[in-house]
Amino acid sequence: MTAQEYHDGQVILIDKPLHWTSFQAVNKLKYTLINKAGLPKKFKIGHAGTLDPLASGLLIVCTGKFTKSISEIQGQAKEYTGTFYIGATTPSYDLETEIDQTFPTSHINEDLIHQTVKQFLGEIDQVPPIFSAIKKDGKRLYEHARAGEEVEIQSRKTTIYEFEITRIALPEIDFRVKCSKGTYIRSLAFDFGKAMESGSHLTALRRTKIGDYNVENGVSPETFVEQITKLSEANS
């Protein structure tokens, strides 16, 4: 891949590491393409869908003319794998906040788990987590949450195309889910526990696919830096 090709337009598949923000990952690529490949400072670059710092996996970065495809890519179905922790909830529905409530789990067995999965297939109503970036009254929901303010959050329609349980080792349940744009897997974790008359929160999340793009074809930000550095050295 030449510097000119990156400038003109590429779709770059990044395997975002845990604890990185999507912004950090894009900035790393941008800095590298400017300083190692010699691209102008104002070349176009952006990502097609944020991935939380507590999630790893597929982050699609577009450059040049492909930045026009970002909204189209964002609209495609997404696939995730991860882990629910059954019997406890957190205010953020994941590990960003501490456990606030515990629930009984002695009644939960494999049959109940698999029956509960069926409730979430197809179009469902979902309430986004209070710790999310959605705006309400001019502020992000997480800003309201951190200020201790109570806000009413409207539910929204989302679609779960596939929902598979891949491991049961209570209190942990591993899953794979394919869903529409705008689905919150944290909310799915919370609702799943509630549907079993218990509680649940998300302890691991990895985005594996967006449309036909697969994380197996992605590289880490560090590997991308190495590739561009070698390209730069070869051309110098």
Which of 8, 15, 52, 125 is catalytic? The answer is: 52
Strand (E) or helix (H) holding 159: strand 156-169
Q: Is 174 a catalytic residue?
A: no
Query: Which long-range contacts (C-beta less than 8 Å, at least 24 apart) are formed by 147-153?
Result: 153/127, 153/128
- Return the DSSP state at 223: H
Strand (E) or helix (H) holding 216: none
Q: Is the omega angle on the peptide bond into residue 221 within 30 degrees of 0, that is, cis? A: no
SS3 184: coil
Q: Distance between CA 58 and CA 51 in Å, rounded?
A: 8
- Show which residues are catalytic: 52
